[in-house]
């Protein structure tokens, strides 16, 4: 069913969670983590949840609504980066002795955010577009094919772009390759593991909102214009 008269009680909540996870993930990305042979930035642990919320947004509300949320997240990333950079360069109060600590950790944020913006835009846009097209192609059946299939495409772009833009010149190429592969595998596995929860969440929101949008003849222009 494609409802034009929409009740969107959960849309602001999902949008808030999506954007919050995105911002927190970028802060956590300033630390590098190694577990066994896998190397990844700290944001990798939380960031896959943004794709799950992105899947719910596109599956329930359609590509147009998900595009608005994607741009909201992008604007918040830019706002965070600008403010971190500004506060970092403002003169510190003389008794505050943590300027070097601030610089060493948070002043990496503008570069990380630039990498995240490029990777996030490419990854989230392709994730939403693939899921939207697959929903029409499968006539709304086999949700798992859409959530996992869109993640395979979106996370490949996201992980590769983010790692090489954010950390080239900081780590050797061999570490970057391991990092990108680790990120991709971890994020994809998280999507698969959370598939039952995604089914429950999508079913609940669709039933509560009375919405199940199919994107027939929709333009996949990523820009926030009609």
Let me know if residue 3 belongs to a domain.
no
- What total of structural domains would you count in the chain? 1
Residue 131 lies in a domain: yes
Q: Is residue 110 part of a domain?
A: yes
For residue 164, being part of any structural domain is answered with yes
**How far from the centroid of its chain's Cα atoms is residue 195's Cα?**
17
Residue-number span of the structural domain to which 57 is assigned: 11-91+99-206
Q: What's the confidence (pLDDT) of residue 3?
A: 45
Quick one: pLDDT at residue 226? Answer: 57
Q: What's 67's domain CATH number?
A: 1.10.1760
**Predicted local distance difference test score (pLDDT) of residue 95:** 92
Residue carrying the six token digits 């954007």: 19
156 belongs to a structural domain: yes
SS3 for 158? helix
Q: What is the 3-state secondary structure (H, E, C) of 84-117?
A: HHHHHHCCCCCCCCCHHHHHHHHCCHHHHHHHHH
Contacts of 13 (CB under 8 A, 6+ apart): none
Per-residue pLDDT at 198: 87
Ordered DSSP codes for 41-91: EGGGGTTHHHHHHHHHHHHHH-HHHHHHHHHHHHHHHHHHHHHHHHHHHSP
DSSP assigned state of 213: -
Structure pTM?
A: 0.77
How does pLDDT run along the chain (226 residues), one tens digit per residue? 444 445 678 888 888 998 899 888 888 887 888 888 777 778 888 888 887 888 888 888 888 888 888 888 888 888 888 888 898 889 989 899 898 888 887 777 677 778 878 887 888 888 888 988 899 888 888 888 888 888 889 889 988 998 898 888 878 888 889 888 988 888 888 888 888 888 898 889 888 888 888 888 787 777 665 5
Residue 38: strand pairing partners:
35
Say if 77 falls within a structural domain: yes
Residues 6+ apart with CB under 8 A from 89: none
Question: Which helix (H) or strand (E) element contains residue 154?
Answer: helix 143-167
Can you say how many angstroms the Cα of residue 184 is from the centroid of all Cα atoms in its chain?
13
> What's the pLDDT at 28?
86
Classify residue 116: in a domain, yes or no.
yes
């Amino acid at each position: 069913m494609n409802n034009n008269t929409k009740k969107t009680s959960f849309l602001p909540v999902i949008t808030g969670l999506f954007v919050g996870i995105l911002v927190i993930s970028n802060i956590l990305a300033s630390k590098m983590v190694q577990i066994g042979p896998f190397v990844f930035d700290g944001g990798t642990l939380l960031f896959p949840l943004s794709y799950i919320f992105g899947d719910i947004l596109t599956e329930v509300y359609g590509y147009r609504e998900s595009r608005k949320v994607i741009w909201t997240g992008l604007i918040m990333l830019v706002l965070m980066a600008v403010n971190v950079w500004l506060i970092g360069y403002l003169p510190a109060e003389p008794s505050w002795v943590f300027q070097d600590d601030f610089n060493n950790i948070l002043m990496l944020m503008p570069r990380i955010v630039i990498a995240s913006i490029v990777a996030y835009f490419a990854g989230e846009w392709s994730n939403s577009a693939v899921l939207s097209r697959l929903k029409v192609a499968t006539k709304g059946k086999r949700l798992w094919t859409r959530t996992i299939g869109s993640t395979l495409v979106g996370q490949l772009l996201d992980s590769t772009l983010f790692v090489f833009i954010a950390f080239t010149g900081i780590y050797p190429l061999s570490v970057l390759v391991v990092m990108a592969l680790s990120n991709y595998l971890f994020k994809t596995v998280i999507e698969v593991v959370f598939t039952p929860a995604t089914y429950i969440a999508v079913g609940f929101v669709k039933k509560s909102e009375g919405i199940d949008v199919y994107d027939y003849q929709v333009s996949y222009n990523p820009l926030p214009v009609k």
